[in-house]
Amino acid sequence: MHKRLSDDKLNALIEAGIQEFATNGYGGARLSAIAARAGISVGVIYKYYADKETLFLACVRYSLQALTDALMDVAGKSDDVFESLRSVVRTLISHAKEHQEINRMYHEITGVGASHFSAMLSKEVEEISAMVYTDLIRKAQEMGMCRTDADPALFAFFFDSLFMMVQFSYSCEYYQRRLELYCGKDIFRDDEKMEEELMKFLSGALGLKQQA
């Protein structure tokens, strides 16, 4: 009987998969390369995952769960909606910089190379963030902290679209060069400026007032 992999080895396999898919895309990724990265044989992969598609889906779900957990942790921590939004922004920036492979995986499922996964993954990937941002905006309206003529769901969609672009701008080469073109190389080292300017943009759109 084949010896079962330890939890650490299973996590190493997923991490190796994330690196390979983020680097080469779904189409270019090879199970042999993932096995080599993880220090196991291809046969062992097949003991846990039926094929490349199954492993890819496991990697996507594993990688995005970390960001989902982080957002859920900070979004409702403060009764001050302005500070809750700031915590979300700060978390997104730090996560995008520290986990670039995860964001490249995210980018992979939005592109043509893995488009056949879109219907399957779009709801489970986006549902939590849609709920978090819509609830934040609705809460601010109920507290009289922002404009009441904004549609919470649409504004949440606009915000999340902007957040997604910020994530890609720290992780994906084309968007990194795009950010550099607009703001210069120093912006990648100035998280505080990115946070402050993004907060000005978001709070201005909402007419969000900071609590005294």
Residue 74 domain-assigned (yes or no): yes
Q: What is the secondary structure of the chain as a DSSP string? A: -PPPPPHHHHHHHHHHHHHHHHHHHHHH--HHHHHHHHTS-HHHHHHH-SSHHHHHHHHHHHHHHHHHHHHHHHHTS-S-HHHHHHHHHHHHHHHHHH-HHHHHHHHHHHSGGGGGGHHHHHHHHHHHHHHHHHHHHHHHHHTT-S-SSS-HHHHHHHHHHHHHHHHHHTTSHHHHHHHHHHH-GGGGG-HHHHHHHHHHHHHHHHTPPPP-
Average pLDDT over the chain, rounded to an integer: 87
- Residue 99 CA to residue 187 CA, distance in Å, equals 18
Residue 39 lies in a domain: no
Confidence of residue 1 (pLDDT cuts 50, 70, 90): very low
Residue 112 pLDDT: 57
Residue 36, domain member (yes or no)? no
Percent of the chain with pLDDT over 70: 93
Asked if residue 14 is part of any domain, the answer here is no
Q: Averaged over 144-152, what is the pLDDT?
A: 94
pLDDT at 111: 67
pLDDT in tens, 27-42: 899 999 999 999 999 9
Mean pLDDT of 78-94: 88
The tokens for 159 are 């915000």
In-domain check, residue 37: no
Residue numbers of the domain that contains 180: 61-206
| 51, part of any domain | no
Task: Tell me if 17 is assigned to some domain.
Answer: no
Q: How confident is the model at residue 104 (pLDDT cuts 50, 70, 90)?
A: confident
- Give me the number of domains the chain comprises: 1
Q: Does residue 19 fall inside a structural domain?
A: no
Domain CATH for 136: 1.10.357.10
| Lowest-pLDDT choice from 22-26, 95-99, 113-117 | 113-117
